[in-house]
Amino acid sequence: MKKILSDKEKLAALLIKLAEAEEKYKARLSRFRGVAHESASGELAFSELKVREDFARSLKAEVKALKEKMGIKE
């Protein structure tokens, strides 16, 4: 059975996930050196980087929407 979280609990959980996602994205970005021509590993690294970036962006949007719902100003 799922536990129903309050908006404050959801926001706290999202902020933790966002901090972790941004940390992982920045770590991966610091080691990314671009995509070498016809390099499968470079293309996979770039794809992973973009997935992490999109995940962080979607978490930011979710946090923003929840804050607006709760009436919290940025």
What is the spatial distance between Cα 51 and Cα 56, in angstroms, rounded to a whole number?
Answer: 9
Q: What is the pLDDT of residue 33?
A: 84
| Matching residue, tokens 């946090």 | 63
Question: Can you tell me whether residue 15 is helix, strand or coil?
Answer: helix
State the burial class of residue 44 (Cβ atoms within 10 Å of its Cβ: 0-12, 13-18, 19+): exposed
- pTM for this predicted structure: 0.81
Q: What is the pLDDT of residue 74?
A: 67
Q: What is the pLDDT of residue 30?
A: 93
Residue ranges of domains in the chain: 7-70
- Cα 71 to Cα 16, 66, 67: the distances in Å are 20, 9, 6
Per-residue pLDDT of the chain (74 residues; tens, 9 = 90+): 667 878 899 999 999 999 999 999 999 999 888 887 788 888 888 999 999 999 999 999 999 999 999 888 76
Q: What is the pLDDT of residue 4?
A: 80
